[in-house]
């Protein structure tokens, strides 16, 4: 019979959890290590093909092409005499015959001359047709997918405007030769909040814009949020915003007038991207002959308010 010890158990001090490898993602410019979810590559293969860079995608296609032909070359080479007029002889000839079969080139010199060769070639033709169809579909999907050309300013400014403190962002249409119709914008603030019970959570507040829709977004659009008594930013300071770990999320949406495709764009701004008592530099200039110039080189520039007043005074 097993006896239980009457000695007091030893107290173990909990050690900090060790970091395990997981999937990495970027959230609000912060790298987050996601773990606990199994990697299902085959279920997300299409998404991976749509998000990976073009060079990596072509390298992956080339690698699959080579591996596919190397495997079937093994099958052809396993039974000598299955391919007529094999040139060069041996495994190299079987590999080149596999490439010709997959590409449906059929030069005519090499061809299957046994039942085994015809069966393997038929299987390869079927699988190769499926592979080429998938390849063409992915490439077409990536080319046909609408790519937004919205430009967002690197920083946001907080300044008085018409007697009211205003948070301002600057955006532009990178495709100035295309008209974006019925453009809309949404501004939200993500921040840390502690409830009365002491429960800490991440919350999101909607910030009302002076104008949330633009009928014809061609060049630039300055988005403004008035900080009044109804604004979540009322009575906030740079220090209080930093303590709440505030992140501003600005999203744009619009329809291309030429293609009818819907474009989406998003930008995030941390507290250190706010410029208090600054103003965006003018980017639109009108000349004496009535022509106008929009200078994208000044798009991200800001100047202190006292310099703006001094320049206008001169």
pLDDT in tens, 77-116: 999 999 999 989 999 999 999 999 988 787 778 989 999 9
pLDDT of residue 294: 81
What are residue 126's DSSP bridge partners?
none
Q: What is the CA radius of gyration of the chain?
A: 31
pLDDT of residue 160: 94
pLDDT level of residue 30 (50, 70, 90 thresholds): low
Contact in structure between 17 and 35 (CB atoms under 8 Å): no
Helix 91-102 × helix 115-144 angle, to 10°: 50
Asked whether the predicted pLDDT for residue 258 surpasses 50, the reply is yes
* Secondary structure of 175-200 as H, E, C letters: CCCCCEEEEEEEEEEEEEEECCCCCE
In the chain, helix, strand, coil percent, each to 5?
30, 30, 35
Asked whether the predicted pLDDT for residue 4 surpasses 50, the reply is no
Say whether pTM exceeds 0.75.
Answer: no
pLDDT in tens, 197-233: 889 899 999 999 999 999 888 888 999 999 999 999 9
- Tell me which of 115 and 312 has the higher pLDDT: 115
pLDDT in tens, 45-57: 887 888 888 899 9
Domains of the chain with bracketed CATH = 45-144 (1.10.287.70), 150-313 (2.60.40.1400)
* Secondary structure of 8-58 as H, E, C letters: CCCCCCCCCCCCCCCEEEEECCEEEEECCCCCCCCCCHHHHHHHCCHHHHH
């Amino acid at each position: 019979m097993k006896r239980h010890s009457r000695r007091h158990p030893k107290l173990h001090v909990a050690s900090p959890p060790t970091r395990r490898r997981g999937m990495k993602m970027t959230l609000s410019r912060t790298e987050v290590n996601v773990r606990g979810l199994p990697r299902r590559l085959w279920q997300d293969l299409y998404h991976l093909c749509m998000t990976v860079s073009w060079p990596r995608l072509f390298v992956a296609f080339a690698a699959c092409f080579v591996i596919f032909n190397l495997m079937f070359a093994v099958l052809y080479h396993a039974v000598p005499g299955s391919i007529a007029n094999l040139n060069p002889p041996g495994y190299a000839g079987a590999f080149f015959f596999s490439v010709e079969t997959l590409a449906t080139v059929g030069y005519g010199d090499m061809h299957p001359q046994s039942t085994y060769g015809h069966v393997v070639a038929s299987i390869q033709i079927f699988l190769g047709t499926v592979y080429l169809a998938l390849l063409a579909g992915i490439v077409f999907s990536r080319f046909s997918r609408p790519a937004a050309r919205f430009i967002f300013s690197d920083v946001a400014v907080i300044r008085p405007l018409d007697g009211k403190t205003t948070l301002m962002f600057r955006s532009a249409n990178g495709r100035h030769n295309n008209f974006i119709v019925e453009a809309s914008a949404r501004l939200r603030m993500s921040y840390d909040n502690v409830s009365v019970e002491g429960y800490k959570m991440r919350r999101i507040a909607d910030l009302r814009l002076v104008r949330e829709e633009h009928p014809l977004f061609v060049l630039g659009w300055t988005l403004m949020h008035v900080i009044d008594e109804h604004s979540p930013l009322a009575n906030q300071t740079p220090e209080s915003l930093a303590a709440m770990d505030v992140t501003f999320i600005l999203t744009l949406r619009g329809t291309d007038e030429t293609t009818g495709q819907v474009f989406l764009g998003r930008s995030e701004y941390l507290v250190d991207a706010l410029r208090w008592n600054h103003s965006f530099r003018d980017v639109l200039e009108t000349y004496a002959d009535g022509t106008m110039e929009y200078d994208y080189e000044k798009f991200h520039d800001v100047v202190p308010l006292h310099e703006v007043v001094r320049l206008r005074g001169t």
